Amino acid sequence: FRTSLNKSLGGDSWLTKDIGTLFSGEKLRDDALEELETRLLMADAGLEATQWLLDRLQAEIGAGRIKTEKQLREQLKKALLELLQPIAKPLKIPAFIRPYILFVVGVNGVGKTTTIGKLASRFKKDGLSVLLAAGDTFRAAAVQQLTTWSERSGVPILSQGEGADSASVIFDAVQSAKARGLDMVIADTAGRLHTQHHLMDELRKIKRVIQKHDAYAPHEVLLVVDATTGQNALNQAIQFHEAIGLTGIAVTKLDGTAKGGILLAIARRMALPIRYVGLGEAVDDLEVFDAEIYVESLIG
């Protein structure tokens, strides 16, 4: 994680870029906080997280605890960790819940299918038997793409034809996993319908159908968001959370042009667990989110 994240966030990335101009001097520059504010906002941290961080630092300056740039760096690190550590909660699959039902939701293009493929492979490596449910029945390509991931990772998939009822595909997968004694079902879901309203209705319906089988399922509703879309990612998180209730988030494409601040915005606004980060297109490019490593890569 450290190496790939440093590689990803290094160079052109937000807080690390020209870090020297902000942190190298002995004495605190007058405009250091202003400069930091600009960088945070440009990195998609959003107003709320940025303001929260600046207020923290301002209070420390007021209390005389920040006099040098080194101290500013230390306090910034502390504040960032305070924001992120409580939500860096890895997904744990309890052994007593079988099958464990994981819904993966998100709008088209964010990397949902890829993330499902990576997750399937990861859980299989952990020794769990996984069944994929091709619940995004509205896009023929989605089923095909998921089937390719299934073949690649040697994880079985249950699918029906295009236009099949998504809830029934997922319900069948759960029944099948039960009958076969499998450990978990990872269900893909639609990423786009005619309207946003339809999409949320569909997701609610799937949830209701599954809950007839198990009142406490799905055990995890994981939202996939694309870090390169900035504040859109936060808006999606809010909308999905209001509609079906999320239990975790995976943030993809942190290896790209994303500046990574969106994690701070999500943390400050929603405090939802961040489970994984996507750092590339390959099967192993999915890492458990670790706040400390992340913060270290941000401020060097």
From candidates 13, 113, 137, 236, binder to ligand GDP by CB under 6 A: 113
Q: Does residue 8 belong to the site contacting ligand GDP (CB under 6 A)?
A: no
- Spatial separation of the C-alpha atoms in residues 126 and 212, rounded to whole Å: 29
| Minimum CB–partner distance for residue 140 and ligand GDP (Å) | 13
- Spatial separation of the C-alpha atoms in residues 80 and 263, rounded to whole Å: 11
183 near 129, Cβ under 8 Å?
A: yes
Could you tell me which stretch among 74-82, 165-173, 176-184, 275-283 binds ligand GDP (CB under 6 A)? Answer: 275-283
| Minimum CB–partner distance for residue 107 and ligand GDP (Å) | 7
Q: What tokens appear for 112 in the block?
A: 């949902």
- Bond preceding residue 273 cis, omega within 30 of 0: no
Q: Does residue 166 belong to the site contacting ligand GDP (CB under 6 A)?
A: no
Beta strands in the chain (DSSP E): 100-105, 130-133, 157-158, 184-188, 220-226, 248-252, 274-278, 286-288
What x-and-dash track marks residues 180-219 binding ligand GDP by CB under 6 A?
-----------x----------------------------
Residues 80 to 109: which contact ligand GDP by CB under 6 A?
106, 108-109
251 near 278, Cβ under 8 Å?
A: yes
Helix (H) or strand (E) holding 269: helix 262-270
Could you tell me which stretch among 80-88, 154-162, 241-249, 279-287 binds ligand GDP (CB under 6 A)? Answer: 279-287
| Minimum CB–partner distance for residue 19 and ligand GDP (Å) | 24
Q: Does residue 256 belong to the site contacting ligand GDP (CB under 6 A)?
A: yes
Q: Does residue 12 belong to the site contacting ligand GDP (CB under 6 A)?
A: no
**Cβ-closest residue to ligand GDP?**
278
Non-local CB neighbours of 230 within 8 Å, separated by 6+ positions: 44, 262
Q: Does residue 147 belong to the site contacting ligand GDP (CB under 6 A)?
A: no
Nearer to ligand GDP, 20 or 109 (CB): 109
Backbone angles phi, psi at 59, to 5 degrees: -65, -40
Q: Does residue 135 belong to the site contacting ligand GDP (CB under 6 A)?
A: no
- Spatial separation of the C-alpha atoms in residues 161 and 164, rounded to whole Å: 6
- The residues that bridge with 274 in the sheet, in sequence order, are 249
Q: Does residue 239 belong to the site contacting ligand GDP (CB under 6 A)?
A: no
**Residues within the interface to ligand GDP (CB under 6 A):** 106, 108-114, 145, 191, 252-253, 255-256, 278-281, 285
Residues at the binding site for GTP are: 106-113, 188-192, 252-255
